[in-house]
Chains A and B, each alone.
Chain A
Amino acid sequence: MIRLEYYLIISTLMFFIGIFGFITRKNMIAILISLELVLNAVEINFAAFNRFLYPNQLEGMFFTLFGIAITAAETAVALAIIINAYRSIGNININNINKMKN
């Protein structure tokens, strides 16, 4: 049986890779993908903790399912925003999206 620590190592790696990507990438699609990595790391944690700490209950699993649904919705919204940003400024470089500041 795979031990809990391995799940956690994988999810931690995914989490920080996602954070790193979120901070360093300039392409908004890439940033969105990085964000997905962060969320998936969290969902792995949910599932793993549920499996190892409370094996007779299912809350963690349900949260994972909810999380996946939310992630899908969020991706749809984010893509819509990115498309609109592309239409208005002609590219999807995150550094150019600072109009809201002014």
Chain B
Amino acid sequence: MEYSLFILIVPFFLFLVLGLLGMKMKPKAAGIIGTAGMGLCAICASAVAYQYFFQTGMVGEEWQHLVPVNFEWLRFTESLHIDLGILLDPISVMMLVVITTVSLMVHIYSLGYMHGETGFQRYYALLSLFSFSMLGLVVATNIFQMYIFWELVGVSSYSLIGFYYTKPSAVAASKKAFIVTRFADLGFLIGILLLSFYTKTFDFGLLTADNAGLVTTSMAGGTFMGLSIATWALALIFMGGAGKSAMFPLHIWLPDAMEGPTPVSALIHAATMVVAGVFLVARLFPVYFFAAPDVLTLIAYVGTFTALFAAIIAITQTDIKRVLAFSTISQIAYMMVALGVSDYGGHDGLGYMASMFHLVTHAFFKALLFLGAGSVIHAVHSNEMSQMGNLRRYMPVTNITFAIACLAIAGIWPFSGFFSKDEILAAAFHSNPLIFWTLWAIAGLTAFYMWRLYYCIFWNSNKEYNEHHKPHESPLTMAVPLIILAIFSIFSGFIPFAGFISSDNVPFHTHIDLTVASLSIGAGVAGIAAATVLYLKKSDWTAEIAQSLGGLYRAALHKFYLDEIWMWVTQSVVFRYICIPIAWFDRHIIDGAMNGLAWATHRSAGSVKGLQSGQVQFYAWVFVAGSILIAVLVLFF
């Protein structure tokens, strides 16, 4: 399966071509080249997936780790070396398909959405760079390769959030995203170094083999501040994942990242990049489970809290993209919880499978929601709910596909979200009642805020739009991806996921747990019903409810003041007590030493430069006098 390398080469080549020659092309040509390349990539990925899942992947009732391409890049010691290669196993192949599919949809969609924008070619170049980095991340054979692509993904996300670089808010958002994730990546890097220092390898295969035996034996006994080294290392690695996957309290960058073009939000900040953290934990799952089960518990609780927190905020937001952003945070936290509560092996590893399952279905329906929101924004030129309403009359395709996505995320049978969410709830049900009931409540909240969003956009008022500015259905390039993604959102739930993905790579069977299923559908239906009552028609009740909740409502509207808290922490703690002293030291000690050296050189040169008079006879005189002096010294002393 060496041709899997093409999946990486094609987007990289596209990035080079579009980035270097893009400005010489017509925008449309650049868009079509980018889209065609991505299509090729998607075909390759599907071929790899077919070959892996149906021909070569399964050997003796177990999914194999295949490494079709690998070369050594840097060697440090006999055993420690950084390789670059391609690792094919169920989750990476699954991710390849998801990423290339969503990316292709976004490429097609952008042909319509970004039409006429300045920097259209740059946009496609950056999309290709992002696709390349994300694909490289998921096929990484070792944790260091993953880290390299992890940062590349961060860079391309940064430049796409700041795509409208003339807008100060977009620039601020891109910087915020980069700095927050970079801060989290510091933890990731330290974690990698700790892990590789003890195990002497970066390789995922070696790290996870034999129930993570290498990690547990090499780190046995070491403790630091009361916790074992393995716990520290894996918690720090999770910190990197939490940054990328927007876990509390590092989620603050994701809502602001909505400043980027909407298709970018769909691709990067909903479907692919933000699940990198989940993917990272899933990739190292045996290590977490056997070497540091405490960290998994931590992940479960952080995830539960984040999911609840983000869902509450999502209810109050009025910017449609922000609602979706908080919904994304909440859903990713769901996946994290599923990993956190999962056991290892067979049916006990249900949470692991459910997490990956939800990752796939979420990628489709959330991309669909974002692209639908983009289509709405394209039509009404605003992100605010108050500017919308009654759009179902003008945008039938967007309306129907959006409704399908809302049903999917609300977890209504037979849409895809039902199956994956049900598995997550089932996994939580078997491990921890507190987490289960919180997740169950969140499922209701999710249904509520998504349908609030849906009604506020497409129903709510009998708003008549200005004759000159009538909203219109989006062009075909935008409608077709919506329809395709809607089909995926309906049917991807029927994939027998447990047969392909499991924590120990041995297929197992799942069955719908009727108690859990009825509870989750009940929560979803209740949420939808509540939203229908409150938002189908414009009513005064919403304002009254907001009034009666008072402080809680205001706090949620302001995202629980987390941005302000972080601002305070950075400005009055980090800046005042760390940055200002360091800046002083730099300016006065380091610069002072350099300037002093330059000053001394300058002064000494000034005092001797008079000797260089240009008078040959003076030179000759000095030379003769010097020679005589030396001769006298040699002869008489």
Q: Residues of A at under 8 Å CB distance from B?
A: 19, 22-24, 31, 94-95, 97-102
Contacts and interface: CB of A to CB of B under 8 A. Distances in A.
B624 A101 contact: no
Interface string B601-637: 0000000000011111100110010000000000000
Contact of B616 (A19, A24, A94, A102): A94
A97 B613 contact: no
B614 A101 contact: yes
A95 B615 contact: yes
Max chain A Cβ within 10 angstroms of own Cβ: one of B612, B613, B624: B624
8 contacts: A19-B620, A22-B617, A22-B620, A23-B620, A94-B615, A95-B615, A97-B614, A98-B615
Contacts of B614: 97-102
B624 A23 contact: yes
A19 to B, nearest CB: 6
Contacts of A24: 617
Contacts of A31: 617
Contacts of B620: 19, 22-23
Given A19-B624, A23-B624, A94 B613 contact: no
Contacts of B612: 101
A100 B624 CA distance: 22
Given A24-B617, A94-B616, A94-B617, 18 more contacts: A19-B620, A19-B624, A22-B617, A23-B617, A23-B620, A23-B621, A23-B624, A31-B617, A94-B615, A97-B614, A97-B616, A98-B613, A98-B614, A98-B615, A99-B614, A101-B613, A101-B614, A102-B614
Interface residues of B, number: 9
B170 to A, nearest CB: 55
A94 B619 CA distance: 12
B531 to A, nearest CB: 86
Interface of B: 612-617, 620-621, 624
Nearest to B621: A23
A99 to B, nearest CB: 8
A22 B619 CA distance: 11
B229 to A, nearest CB: 68
A95 B615 CA distance: 6
Contacts of B624: 19, 23
Nearest to B624: A19
B605 to A, nearest CB: 15
Max chain B Cβ within 10 angstroms of own Cβ: one of A23, A31, A97, A98: A23
A45 to B, nearest CB: 15
Nearest to A101: B614
Contacts of A98: 613-615
Contacts of B616: 94, 97
A100 B614 CA distance: 7
Nearest to A24: B617
A24 to B, nearest CB: 8
Nearest to A102: B614
A25 B624 CA distance: 15
B283 to A, nearest CB: 69
Contacts of B615: 94-95, 98
Contacts of A22: 617, 620
A94 B615 CA distance: 8
Contacts of A23: 617, 620-621, 624
Contacts of B613: 98, 101
Contacts of A100: 614
A39 to B, nearest CB: 14
A95 B613 CA distance: 10
A31 B617 CA distance: 9
A97 B615 CA distance: 7
Contacts of B621: 23
B629 to A, nearest CB: 14
Contacts of A97: 614, 616
Nearest to A25: B617
A36 B81 CA distance: 72
A101 B621 CA distance: 17
A81 to B, nearest CB: 12
Nearest to B612: A101
A87 to B, nearest CB: 19
A98 B616 CA distance: 8
B206 to A, nearest CB: 69
A31 B615 CA distance: 13
Nearest to B625: A23
Contacts of A102: 614
B618 to A, nearest CB: 9
Nearest to B627: A19
Max chain A Cβ within 10 angstroms of own Cβ: one of B612, B616, B624: B616
B32 to A, nearest CB: 64
Nearest to A20: B624
B67 to A, nearest CB: 69
B297 to A, nearest CB: 78
